C-alpha cells in the first residue's frame, strides 16, 4: 500500500465547474498536508497547505482535511483552462518525512 494515494485521472472538468481532488494517506500520525500544482514540463509549486481538521480557503481553492478518515481533498471552484495541470498531494508524516502522491491530472475543457 502506498503511503499517499491519489486517483491518477485524468479528471475532466467543464470550464466554470468545481474540480474535486482526493488524497488518502496511511500514516495516522501525519501532521501537515500540502497541495502542489505541476504544469507539464515544469516544477511543482505549492498552492495550499493545511494543518488542522476542516476547511481552508484561498481564492478559488479550498483544502479539506479529515484526520480521522485520513483524507485530504482539494476543491477548485470556477475551474479555468489555466487550472489544467497535475495536482500532487504531499503529507508530512509522523517521522517528519514528506511523502508525495503520484498526482491527479486535471483537464479543464472549454
Partner 1 sequence: EAQVTQNPRYLITVTGKKLTVTCSQNMNHEYMSWYRQDPGLGLRQIYYSMNVEVTDKGDVPEGYKVSRKEKRNFPLILESPSPNQTSLYFCASSLSRGEQFFGPGTRLTVL
Give me the residues that bind partner 1 (CB under 8 A), please: 8, 32, 34, 42-46, 49, 88, 90, 92, 96-98, 100-103
Q: Which is nearer to partner 1, 58 or 78 (CB)?
A: 58
Instruction: Return d(Cα 110, Cα 91) in angstroms, integer.
Output: 32
Choice between 14 and 43, CB closer to partner 1: 43
**What are the two backbone dihedrals, phi and then psi, of residue 33, each rounded to the nearest 5 degrees?**
-140, 140
Closer residue to partner 1, CB minimum distance, 35 or 84: 35
The nearest distance, CB 83 to partner 1, in angstroms, is 19
CB of 40 to partner 1, least distance (A): 11
CB of 98 to partner 1, least distance (A): 5
DSSP string, 31-88: -EEEEEEE-TTS--EEEEEE-SSEEEEETTEEEEEETTTTEEEEEESS--GGG-EEEE
Amino acid at each position: 500500500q502506498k503511503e499517499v494515494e491519489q486517483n491518477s485521472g485524468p479528471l475532466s472538468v467543464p470550464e466554470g465547474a468545481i474540480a474535486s481532488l482526493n488524497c488518502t494517506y496511511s500514516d495516522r500520525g501525519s501532521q501537515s498536508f500540502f497541495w502542489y500544482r505541476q504544469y507539464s514540463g515544469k516544477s511543482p509549486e505549492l498552492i495550499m497547505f493545511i494543518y488542522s481538521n476542516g476547511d481552508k480557503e484561498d481564492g478559488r481553492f479550498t483544502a479539506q482535511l479529515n484526520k480521522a478518515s485520513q483524507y485530504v481533498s482539494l476543491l477548485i471552484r470556477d475551474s479555468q483552462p489555466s487550472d489544467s495541470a497535475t495536482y500532487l498531494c504531499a503529507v508530512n508524516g509522523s517521522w517528519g518525512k514528506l511523502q508525495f502522491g503520484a498526482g491527479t491530472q486535471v483537464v479543464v475543457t472549454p
